[in-house]
């Protein structure tokens, strides 16, 4: 995927769900993975011409597992003129050494989000951008249906009242295959996920299940995506339907 298409799809999602207003200071949650680095490229370049002027910063929550080299990520942020801050935590130690969690993913996500939200508020940001893409949207819906018995997926735009902070997801119209293509074309400095649970989750099971569904029923993922964005999930904002894909 070329940068031009990435910017087009990102802007389409931003416009459809009114994610960016003039004067926003957006903090990008930068894990160092392919998704967040792709979003970094998208927002840094969109910032140059988007009609609603906004500031952009990048923040990484370091789990404290001691095996993450972020120097190339720091250099990329410098090249793109995006201020970058690393937040050190002991989340990994708490989960694996102190609590010895066998299924730590949910608690880890809550702790990471809490650390990120506190950090971005200290930076003076009013919005935080997560790099969830189209496949994440579909997988979350499948996980919710299979394990919770409800039709749900995360919203493109969510306002957190207690934090006075909005969460936006500008990559929801971009597929994982397109992210991978972008990573390869632009040689993004992807950091390996330091978590020992990586690749051993229910989400990985659902990802493989969706691959099988798509193989046996070409276009299945496209229909599932359409079901989500045209559905009536509680809490979702009303989109500008002329901007939907």
Please report the DSSP string for the chain in residue order.
--HHHHHHHHHHHHHHTT---TT-EEEEE--SSHHHHHHHHHHHHHTTT-SS--EEEEEEEE-S-S----HHHHHHHHHTT--EEEEE--HHHIIIIIS--SS-HHHHHHHHHHHHHHHHHHTT-SEEE----HHHHHHHHHHHHHHHSS-----SEEEETTTTEEEE-TTTTS-HHHHHHHHHHHT--PPPP--TTTT-SHHHHHHHHHHHHHHHSTTHHHHHHHHHHTS--TTPPPP-GGG--
Q: What is the reported pLDDT for 197?
A: 58
The angle formed by the CA atoms of residues 217, 185 and 77, to the nearest 5 degrees, is 115
* C-beta separation of 69 from 191 below 8 A: yes
Q: What is the reported pLDDT for 207?
A: 93
The angle formed by the CA atoms of residues 245, 14 and 24, to the nearest 5 degrees, is 175
Q: What domains are defined for the chain?
A: 3-135+153-195 (3.40.50.620)
Please report the DSSP string for 155-171 in residue order.
-SEEEETTTTEEEE-TT
How many whole angstroms separate alpha carbon 62 and alpha carbon 108? Answer: 12
How many whole angstroms separate alpha carbon 53 and alpha carbon 176? Answer: 28
User: 196, 188, 167, 184: which is closest to 75 by C-alpha?
Assistant: 188
Q: What is the reported pLDDT for 198?
A: 59
Q: What is the reported pLDDT for 34?
A: 95
Threshold 0.85, pTM exceeds:
yes
How many whole angstroms separate alpha carbon 105 and alpha carbon 108? Answer: 5
* Residue whose structure tokens are 């404290």: 64
How many whole angstroms separate alpha carbon 43 and alpha carbon 109? Answer: 23
How many whole angstroms separate alpha carbon 85 and alpha carbon 195? Answer: 20
Q: What is the reported pLDDT for 24?
A: 97
* Per-residue pLDDT tens listing for the chain (245 residues): 899 999 999 999 999 999 999 999 999 999 889 999 999 999 999 999 999 999 999 999 887 666 678 899 999 999 999 999 998 876 666 665 555 555 666 666 777 787 888 888 889 999 999 999 999 999 999 999 999 999 999 999 999 988 899 999 999 999 999 999 999 999 999 987 666 655 557 888 999 999 999 999 999 999 999 999 998 898 899 999 888 98
CA 110 distance to own-chain centroid: 14
């Amino acid at each position: 995927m070329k940068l031009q298409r990435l910017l087009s799809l990102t802007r389409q999602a931003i416009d459809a769900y009114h994610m960016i207003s003039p004067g926003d200071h957006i903090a990008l949650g930068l894990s160092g993975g392919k998704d967040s680095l792709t979003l970094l490229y998208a927002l840094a370049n969109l910032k140059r011409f988007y009609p609603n002027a906004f500031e952009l910063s990048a923040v990484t929550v370091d789990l404290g597992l001691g095996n993450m080299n972020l120097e190339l990520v720091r250099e990329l942020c410098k090249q793109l003129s995006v201020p970058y801050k690393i937040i050190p935590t002991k989340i990994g130690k708490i989960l694996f050494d102190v609590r010895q969690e066998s299924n730590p993913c949910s608690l880890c996500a809550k702790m990471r989000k809490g650390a990120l939200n506190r950090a971005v508020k200290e930076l003076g940001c009013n919005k935080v951008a997560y790099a969830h893409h189209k496949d994440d949207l579909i997988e979350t819906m499948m996980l919710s249906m299979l394990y919770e018995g409800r039709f749900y997926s995360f919203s493109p735009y969510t306002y957190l009242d207690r934090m006075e902070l909005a969460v936006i997801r500008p990559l929801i119209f971009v597929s994982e295959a397109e992210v991978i293509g972008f990573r390869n074309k632009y040689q993004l400095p992807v950091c390996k996920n330091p978590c020992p649970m990586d690749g051993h989750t229910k989400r990985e099971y659902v990802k493989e299940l969706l691959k099988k569904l798509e193989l046996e029923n070409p276009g299945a993922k496209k229909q599932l995506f359409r079901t989500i964005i045209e559905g009536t999930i509680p809490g979702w904002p009303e989109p500008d339907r002329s901007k939907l894909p």
